[in-house]
Structure 1
Amino acid sequence: MTEQEQALKVLRDQIDSIDKQIHVLLNQRAMCAQNVAEVKEQYQGEEVAVFYRPEREAQVLKRVMERNEGPLADKEVARLFREIMSVCLALEKPMRISFLGPEGTFTQQAALKHFGLSAESAPMATLDQVFREVEAGAAHYGVVPIENSSEGMATHTLDLFKRFSLRICGELELKIHHHLLAQENTDSELINRIYAHQESFAQCRSWLDTNYPQAERITVSSNAEGARLAAQEVGTAAIAGDMAVELYGLQILERNIEDQSDNTTRFLIIGDQDVGPSGDDKTSILMSAHDTPGVLYTLLEPFHRHAISLTRIETRPARQGGWSYMFYIDFEGHVEEEKVQSVLSELESSSVELKLLGSYPKAVL
């Protein structure tokens, strides 16, 4: 055995010993998770026991990142713990998560990022069905897009919050990288048709104008659907993400064709539970008010007076006649905080309607 082989053997033996310790600790953690489930079922009842606690999960992940000393990056360590928690939660109560399908969409990628690989993914044909599935109790939670850094708000999602009685339980952000995909051995110069969701076409408009100005652009319900079609048609390409490559057996003709390199989509987790404070939270509300002079100042002034920072405000027609408008507002803080309660009380007295969508932890990953 050479000196190099001897040195490597010492290190590999250390790795084997560490792996054994990690394995023991993982099983101990899993047994603790099972005990947590038993206690919840004993005191809360099996049917109503709450197994997934978004605020608790956010606190754990933040502590993981705060105590990390490297060489692994903070977020990489947090992702490892995300999967550990996902596996352990599945021992307590397997989670069924609905999302806008079919399989291979960015929304599914967001669902896996937030809930981990041990959660069951349930693709839905429309956003309406995602909301219905959660409201009916057929899915524990749903994942829906709310805004994109280059294209703005997902207005259909806003409209659905008005129709359904669900809570926002969490949020996450996902970097969106679009690839041009086609069948194996496709000549990129022979592409004459491209499938994509309308939002993806918008996010890749300049690149497409430069590289495929003559190609027909066909809008489909999702990028995954476009990838499925491209896998069946010669001379056709689709815009989609990494998940679609393996799922539909496609090759990547061009990577990262989005016009903005920092293209990011924010997603919301919807459910039927109220979420406790994590220490770093957001609150979202819907308000409707008549179009009268100074109405926006009247609605926003209490936030300034109580020193509450707004993170997002969006205006939509309320669709109830009389030139009424609906305001979607995100702001920092939790509904259990006194100053937030004061603001909400003032808004209820000045707006036509106020709907609390939920307080939830800010995105950690």
Structure 2
Amino acid sequence: MNEQEFQEKLARERREIDRIDKQLLPLFLERMGCVERVGALKQQAGAPVRNAAREQEIIDRVSRQAGELGQSAAAFYRAIMAISRDREHIIIGGDSDLRRLERTADRELPSPVGRVVCQGVGGAYSHKAASRLVDDGDITFVPEFSQVFREVEKGALGVVPVENSAAGSVTAVYDLILQYRFYIVGAVDIRVEHCLAAAAPGPVTKVISHPQAMAQCSEVIAARGLEAQEYSNTAAAAQAVAERKEAGLAAICSEDAAKRYGLTIIERGVQNVRNNTTRFVAVYKKPVLQNGANKISLCFSLAHTTGSLHSVLRRFATHGLNLTKIESRPIPGRSFEYDFYLDFTGSIHDPDTLNLICALNAELPRFSFLGNYSELSTEEDG
């Protein structure tokens, strides 16, 4: 087949596709008209939007009728059903609680914000994150992440790390976010520049630091043949090295922490990758929905059915929303059941996005809206 013959045949088939599409669009619009009438009937009757049994009946039927294209036909119909459900939710206007929250929540944190709590000690990366996020708070420190959340329960603003660009998620914090389900009211990316610092002279044989920091500096630890011991926090490790003054003992910490506790910096930039960033979030008991916020967090669980997660994620794509984070964590006390945590770009003040969140809240078990906030960059951290 020469090029001209190929182009002629291709053009013929494309014209046929265009002809079919012209027939499909009116049918789609006609179907959506039926969906709107069904939604109005459900609203009058107080019936739920989703009828999972009927949906599965339709999927099974079209899968059989489509033969070898059964899976593709099922995927096509699942997408239509998701669009239809979203339209019914708009008509019914469900989840008045979320819509009320969007209207009435504060748009800014109180000023002054009051007590701000971080895990660790002064000079930690969380200290820098808290200073970036809040400029009028009284920053205090506690030994454990769980204590941060208990202080938030009492009214404090908590600042905790959630992920590192090199070492991944801080799973202990995601577990606490899913346990307490406080609101996320801000986020900041802090550039991480680790150093190796000691209090006593002589060669280093042992290093202590937070496990995330040691994972970020694993190449230097291996190259120097250092014994590694986990510690609660990078700055707390620096403080411990300063207090113990033990020969051969060093900390992996920030340069700020090393200087704060009077340590000698042996080597700077010991992290495996140069562009190493940790993301911190601010958690608060009350919602704060800034008008210019551009990131949304939420969580939910899913039934163990084929394609359930894909079906949910596809709806974000349908609404033009970009997912930036997905994390799954086991539900305590349940076997192989998981909560999913999602971040995506968007604003709850956008009607289309609010409609989607309300629809998901109505359909998904263990659903929680966790906040709409802005994320600061690392530019000021050089």
| Residues 298, 350 of structure 1: 8 Å contact kept | no
Q: 1:143 Cα shift?
A: 0.4
1:103 aligned counterpart, secondary structure: coil
**Within-5 A mapping of 1:326-341:** 326-341=339-354
Find the structure with the greater CA-based Rg.
2
1:166 aligns with 2:207: no
| Residues 235, 253 of structure 2: 8 Å contact kept | yes
2:359 aligned counterpart, secondary structure: helix
Alpha-carbon separation, structure 2, partners of 1:147 and 1:94: 25
Out of 268, 282, 285, the position equivalent to 1:272 is: 285
Tell me which amino acid in the other structure corresponds to 1:53: E
Out of 103, 106, 118, the position equivalent to 1:99 is: 118
Q: 1:338 Cα shift?
A: 1.2
- Shift of the 297–350 alpha-carbon distance from structure 1 to 2, 3 Å rule, reads farther
Out of 264, 280, 295, the position equivalent to 1:282 is: 295
1:129 aligns with 2:140: no
- Match in the other structure for 2:233: 222
Give the unaligned 5+ runs of structure 2: 1-105
- Match in the other structure for 2:93: none
2:130 aligned counterpart, secondary structure: helix
Alpha-carbon separation, structure 1, partners of 2:259 and 2:233: 17
1:246 aligned counterpart, secondary structure: helix
2:274 aligned counterpart, secondary structure: coil
Q: For each residue in 1:133-155, what CA deviation from the matched residue of structure 2 results, as whole angstroms up to 9, or x when unmatched?
A: 11112x2x110111110111111
- Shift of the 162–94 alpha-carbon distance from structure 1 to 2, 3 Å rule, reads closer
1:153 aligns with 2:186: no
Q: 1:123 Cα shift?
A: 0.2
Q: 1:165 Cα shift?
A: 4.0
2:271 aligned counterpart, secondary structure: coil
Alpha-carbon separation, structure 2, partners of 1:94 and 1:151: 31
**Within-5 A mapping of 1:1-365:** 53=108, 93=112, 95-116=114-135, 118-137=136-155, 139=156, 141-183=157-199, 186-187=201-202, 190-210=203-223, 212-213=224-225, 215-231=226-242, 232=244, 233-364=246-377
TM-score (norm 1): 0.70
Alpha-carbon separation, structure 2, partners of 1:321 and 1:114: 36
TM-score (norm 2): 0.67
Q: 1:208 Cα shift?
A: 1.7
| Residues 210, 234 of structure 2: 8 Å contact kept | yes
- Shift of the 363–245 alpha-carbon distance from structure 1 to 2, 3 Å rule, reads same
Alpha-carbon separation, structure 2, partners of 1:219 and 1:198: 5
| Residues 119, 160 of structure 2: 8 Å contact kept | yes
Q: 1:99 Cα shift?
A: 0.2
- Shift of the 351–320 alpha-carbon distance from structure 1 to 2, 3 Å rule, reads farther
| Residues 179, 240 of structure 1: 8 Å contact kept | yes
| Residues 108, 290 of structure 2: 8 Å contact kept | no
Tell me which amino acid in the other structure corresponds to 2:325: R
Give the unaligned 5+ runs of structure 1: 1-49, 55-88
Q: 1:158 Cα shift?
A: 1.2
- Shift of the 94–322 alpha-carbon distance from structure 1 to 2, 3 Å rule, reads closer
